[in-house]
Structure 1
Amino acid sequence: MVPNDYSEQTLKYLTLLSEQFCDQRAVFSEIINLQAILNLPKGTEHFMSDLHGEYEAFLHILNNCSGVIREHVDEDFGDTLTEQEKGDLCTLIYYPREKIELVRSARLDSPTWYKTMLDRLITVARRLSSRYTRSKVRKAIPHDFAYIIDELLHTHPDENNYRVRYHERIIDSILETDSTEDFICSLAELIKVLAVDHIHLVGDIFDRGGGAAKIMDRLLRCTHQRTDIQWGNHDVLWMGAAAGVPACIITVLRNNLRYENYEILENDYGISLRQLVSFAESTYTDGECINPLLKAINVLLFKLEGQIILRHPEFDMEDRLLLDKIDLDAGTVTIDGTSYDLVTRDFPTLDPAHPFELTDAEQRIVDKLVYEFTNADHLQRHIEFLYRHGSVYLVRNGNLLFHGCVPMNADGTFASVNCLGTWRAGRAYLDFCDDVARRAWRTRDADAMDWMWYLWVGHRSPMSGRVVKTFERSYIEDKAAWEEPMDPYFTLTREAPACDAIMREFGLVPGCGHIINGHTPVKTIQGESPLRAEGRLVVIDGGFCQAYHPKTGIAGYTLIASSRGVRLKAHEAFRSVEEALTRNADIQSETTFIDVAKRRVMVSDTDTGREIREQINDLRQLLEAYRTGIIPERHARH
């Protein structure tokens, strides 16, 4: 019979917990360990957004932790090293193998150089490791040199300097055994892992730049750092494509062909475009401002989108049904009562009586592409990672993270959206979007699959938040038709009341954290600020994408939240890895402190601290159950 103090469910849970902590001694040890963790400084959080396939810039920002590495080098060495020496050390941490090769080719790789660099790397690693438990540091140390690095990190002077001599002997042995390069690489990797505890990617890893697959491969290897992703519109587009949504697949092709990123499709993911190219060349006329391949893709896209819109009148996107508004003889299209000249009259597969039906040849191409995307193993692994580590939004440590917007009405209320028969708004709507995206991947439910397209481009999509004028931008020269109205969210959140309402909607206290967005490039060159509503909202899309640099004037914003506060980093464009190696050309960053902590923020002040306190309470219950004999101790076998 279960005692009154314990519910049956609680007793089952404590019994399961006892399998991990088999006696009172084990429980004591874990409680002491968790209490100690609560009193450590919080780990550094690194926020990035809108990577858009810019792999080299992303890798450098990841390597230098938005300048955090350089800050630690400055703190550790101050004026004892020259700027050149500190730059050399930082570059060695960012790109250890490449830097060693450069030093070797210049014949500067003497035993003295190696010993000096090892000592400096150990100094930086030792400082960083002091913020974590020894157990956590051990888990982060590369396996091959785990014991040696652990010893070096915890070597301190004693009365007779035995430990120091022991340390020196280890270094000498490393040099003698010809394992110095691998050891330096392991130390450099450890430093980067310890410098940033948690990576937040606030959407749009894919499209525009050609390195999205490399970025995903790198994230898959970040096994010692916690990573979360808030899906952007370009991410859900690829997620829909990998699930087999035809309209998403064709849009992915269109986006990447427009930016000439053939390699991600064919080389990275093994998706063949041969059949589509052959169809386009044999069906469409060459020699116009739109090439045959893009003509074929455009028509496929607007037919497939039209089919979704007709299936879902609740999407309220009938204004995007434009193929039926084309006058082929006149070469015009009528939109909202205005007639526009088209840049081409070449629509050989368009049947005015059935404008949204695919021809047999088009259907065969679509079916082939669906097969290619759903059977591309490399792509499927990447999208599985996005689902496993991603969500529509995240509430963490008093901050609210999402890529685009929370759809709003002009009066500041949250917009209600018809979600498969149920009207939802605010947080409930974003929860639905998260659920329907997972259903599309898990069950391939037809309605959920159509919603993946809506999340990419829908008027009220929290990832998009605008009326997308792909048709007009494809076929109409008059740029007045290109204007894309934005959701009221983007105007309202420039003032405090809307931001405070959003924070309350997600269970947060206004003024005690930040809304962190990406999605809309900050036009710094025009005087635009990434800080909105007195700092309540931070937009960290500056943009990484090279195509945006002339408009933004910078190469991206990132955010750093450490135990000392929150600071915004504005980055200049990354030149190249070669310049970083030969000239120590780090990404130059301007730092703006948003919040300066009045006292060090400790783990106990964070969401992790709350979770640890809950674990401690559970362990105390288990301890009491052991003491009263409700659960028998099972002493560990030796």
Structure 2
Amino acid sequence: MKKIFTNDNEIKSEIINLSAILNLPKGTEAFVSDIHGEYDEFAHILRNGSGNTRQKISELFTGKLTNDRQKKFAFLIYYPSEILKQSKDSFTNEADLDQWYFDVFNQLIDMLRYTSIKYTRSKVRKAIKSDFVYITEELLYADQNDLTKRNYYREVMDNIVKLGMADQFIISTCHTIQRLVVDHLHIIGDVFDRGPHPDLIMDHLMNRWGSLDFQWGNHDILWIGSSAGSKLCMANLIRISARYNNLKLLTNSYDIDLRALQDFAEANYQPLPVFSPRSDTGEKIPDDDALYDNTVQQAIAIMQFKLEGQAIKRHPDFEMENRMLLHKLSPDRKSIEIGGETYPITNGCFQLVDPDDPYKLTAKESDLLDDLIRQFIDSPKLRYHMSFMMNNGSMYLNYNGNLLLHGCVPVNEDGTMQKWTVDGNTYSGKSLFDFFESTLKEGFQNPNTEESLDSDIIWYLWTGKLSPLFGKAAMTTFERYFIENKDLHKEVKNPYYSLRKEEWFADELLKEFGLNPEEGHIINGHTPVKLGHSPIMANRKIFVIDGGMSKPYHKTTGIGGYTLLSNSFGFQLVTHEPFTTRAKAIADMTDVVSTKRVIEQSAKRKTVGDTDNGVFIKRHIAELQARLGN
């Protein structure tokens, strides 16, 4: 909403305010990626501001609090309700508890003052719970050296305790500090997949967080696409959910009724070893769940392969004919011909594949898919979550001179942009991203369950060789299920992934997206950084920050992944230890941050005036000055 001014003095006051804001230090940006439904670990990283909270406590309280007390104070800020209970239970004397409250009030207000120093009063006020704005501001902006008001401040704190508001005030102030430690959050793809609670992640972001954006990931596309009416996205989503014993997420969180699919699967399929669900936690999956996941996975996989064949036939432009494999099965379904070679089939489950028309759905399969996709479209909570992700998201983002993207920019071996021609139009580089984004937005705004180019392009984003979110020549799901020869399981990556080590290549990408290669960086997710490899590439111009939160990746990475911080002084890479459980983290007060490494330091401290928001403010100041001139 545009501000209305009634006289020149009001305009001049606004110019003074905006000009002052330009000189405040740039706020801290946090970059996280590949969360994969691991809510507890993600929430912990948000609570500790990727280690930023602990660092500020050290800066403020070293010499005042011991390291042990600093750690306890940090965990109070991370988990105020739980640490409050622990602390209160340790007191037997009411007077001692009251004194503890006063000490904590003062420490929290000091921390809030230190954290909010780079923000305007207006911004800080918006971060404070409305119930406590007046009280917090009175304490926050108090002059501690003013003896005449010292009794006044003491009386305020005394009454917070007497009126039974102490716990609520502490919890509220801790949450305010959490919000202010990081000014803006970038989620570089894949909130969804594998982990059990992407729904809680979305709820947390919608209810508790302020300024943020998403760069959609390949797994996010399956959920967005399902909400947009893509049966192919939905089939992949259900299959992956069954593979990771995660179908309860669909039923419990999004009210998707899978009983008809379960009955169909049990009636037509028997358990096969390769379809056994995987447990990310290492805990044994109950037998009933394992049977359910196994047969559902088979049923939906066969439907998926049929739907893929239909889509590939419709669109020769996709150049995915090598992904049509059902018609290459031998008559007895015990072998398959691929690339002129014959391979034996293991764990075959092709009883509902018609040899004369292998990509045709049975009547029952068709009815099931129609019912399921309608449920996905009509799920209020799914629509609510996906709308938030779409409204705050994009395929890529130019932000403060940096390029943020999840997967890759499809390129040839020499680094030139690969071109894709579809429906008579050719796209590459930035235009390819823009085309996918406009198609996805249109498809989401107008859900359609019928066959359409837009719906198939959304699915292509998941698995197509020129999809910036996939970045491989082919997805070998069929081969991994049914063929033991591991050479056929390999998925060849786009040249982007080897070229991104080169500085010249990073420069070309930044120029392609309209950014300055002398100052810009590319911040990338999607691929876990293997143990012994560096996430810093191209002479510090590309940072790969796959969060590594998904537990199966810990064996590959040896760590819990990376997050990135960008503050007024430069960039810091944060390395995380694998997270265990929320309860253990609280009980042992074990943090996940293992190291923070400065990877780029600004010659001059950056201000708001150096940011994209600064450009907007300067433009607005010019408009206001022009009004005064009139």
CA distance in 2, matches of 1:157, 1:571: 38
The residue number in structure 1 matching 2:240 is: 255
Matched with 1:228 is 213
Counterpart residue type for residue 256 of structure 1: S
1:96 and 2:84 are equivalent in the alignment:
no
Q: Report the equivalent of 2:392.
A: 389
**1:428 and 1:421 mapped to 2: Cα distance?**
15
Identity across the alignment (%): 41
Given that 2:116 and 2:124 are in contact with CA atoms closer than 8 Å, whether structure 1 keeps it comes out as yes
Cα distance, 1:169 vs. partner?
1.7
2:483 maps to which residue? 476
Gaps of 5+ in 2: 276-293
* TM-score of the aligned structures, taking structure 1 as reference length: 0.93
Cα RMSD for the two superposed structures: 1.4
> Partner of 1:110: helix, strand, or coil?
helix
Amino acid at match of 1:379: L
How far is the alpha carbon of 1:288 from its aligned partner?
A: 5.0
Match of 1:181 among 167, 172, 179: 167
Aligned residue type for 2:466: R
Residue 453 in structure 1 maps to residue 459 in structure 2: yes
Q: Which amino acid aligns with 2:492?
A: P
Alignment of 1:106-505 (within 5 A): 106-107=90-91, 110-158=97-145, 160-223=146-209, 225-286=210-271, 289-290=274-275, 291-329=294-332, 331-444=334-447, 446-466=452-472, 467-505=474-512
Instruction: Name the aligned partner's letter for residue 285 of structure 1.
Output: Q
Q: What are the superposed Cα offsets for residues 147-186 of structure 1, whole Å, 9 maximum, x if unpaired?
A: 110111100134x512333222211111111100000011
Amino acid at match of 1:343: T
Counterparts of 1:459 and 1:384 in 2: how far apart (Å)? Answer: 27
**Residues 235 and 303, structure 2, Cα contact 8 Å, conserved in 1:** yes
Deviates more, 1:129-138 or 1:193-202: 129-138
Higher deviation after alignment, 437-446 or 559-568: 437-446
Compute the displacement of 1:478 (Å). 1.6
Correspondence for 1:80: 64
- 1:554 equivalent to 2:559? Answer yes
Does structure 1 retain, via aligned residues, the 8 Å contact 2:400–2:611? yes
Which residue of 1 is the match for residue 282 of structure 2? none
Other structure's SS at 2:62 match: helix
The change in CA–CA distance for 1:184 and 1:328 in structure 2 (over 3 A counts) is farther
Displacement of 1:258 in angstroms is 0.6
Q: Offset of 1:287 from its aligned partner?
A: 5.3
Deviation string, structure 1 residues 293-342 (Cα, Å, up to 9, x no partner): 22211100100111111111101111100111111415011111121111
SS in 1 for 2:48: helix
Aligned residue among 17, 25, 45 for 2:9? 25
Aligned length: 605
- What is the distance in 2 between the residues matched to 1:286 and 1:578? 36
C-alpha distance in 1 between matches for 2:51 and 2:136: 24
- CA-CA distance at 1:579 after TM superposition: 2.5
Give the conservation status (yes or no) of the 8 Å contact 1:45–1:199: yes
Match of 1:5 in 2: none
Name 1:519's counterpart in structure 2.
Answer: 526
The aligned residue for residue 634 of structure 1 is none
Query: Is contact 2:227–2:447 with CA below 8 Å preserved after alignment?
Result: no
Structure 2 residue identity aligned to 1:550:
K
1:576 deviation in Å? 2.1
Asked if the contact 2:239–2:300 (Cα under 8 Å) also holds between the matched residues in 1, the reply is yes
Alpha-carbon offset, residue 386 of structure 1 = 0.8
CA contact (8 A) 1:560 1:567 kept: yes
Q: How far does residue 256 in structure 1 lie from its aligned partner after superposition?
A: 1.0
* Residue in 1 that maps onto 2:597: 592
For residues 404-451 of structure 1, what are the alpha-carbon distances to aligned partners after superposition, in whole Å with 9 as ceiling and x for unaligned?
Answer: 011101111001112432101111111111101101112346211111
Cα distance, 1:542 vs. partner? 4.4
Residues 204 and 232 in structure 1, CA contact (< 8 A), matched pair in contact too? yes
Cα distance change on mapping 1:389 and 1:542 into 2, 3 Å: closer
The 1:548–1:328 alpha-carbon spacing in structure 2 relative to 1, beyond 3 Å, is farther
Moved more, 188-197 or 571-580: 571-580
Contact 1:51–1:206, Cα closer than 8 Å, also in 2? yes
Q: Is the 8 A contact 2:403 2:521 kept in 1?
A: yes
- Contact kept? 2:574, 2:595, Cα under 8 Å: yes
What residue in structure 1 maps to residue 287 of structure 2? none
Task: Give yes or no for contact 1:494–1:532 (8 Å, CA) kept in 2.
Answer: yes
Structure-2 residue corresponding to 1:629: none
Q: Give the CA deviation at 1:621.
A: 1.6
Partner of 1:511: helix, strand, or coil? coil
Q: What residue identity is the alignment partner of 2:462? A: W
For residue 606 of structure 2, give the secondary structure of its aligned residue in structure 1: coil
Instruction: Give the superposition deviation at 1:286.
Output: 3.5
Distance 1:181 1:448 in 2: 52
> Could you say if the C-alpha distance between residues 257 and 286 of structure 1 is closer, same or farther in structure 2, counting changes exceeding 3 Å?
closer
What is the CA–CA distance in structure 2 between the aligned matches of 1:563 and 1:164, rounded to whole Å? 34
Match of 1:54 in 2: 38
Write the distance in 1 (CA, Å) between the matches of 2:505 and 2:222.
Answer: 28
Query: Structure 1 counterpart of 2:595, which letter?
Result: E
In structure 1, the residue matched to 2:281 is: none
Instruction: Select which of 40, 47, 61 maps to 1:63.
Output: 47
Structure 1 position 343, deviation (Å):
1.2
Cα distance per residue 1:462-487 (max 9 Å; x no partner): 11111211111111122111000111
Q: Is the contact between residue 347 and residue 481 of structure 2 (CA under 8 Å) also seen in structure 1?
A: no
Tell me which moved more, 240-249 or 417-426: 417-426
Contact kept? 1:52, 1:205, Cα under 8 Å? yes
Does residue 1:538 correspond to 2:543, yes or no? yes
Q: Provide the residue aligned with 1:42 in structure 2.
A: 26
What's the TM-score, normalizing by structure 2?
Answer: 0.94
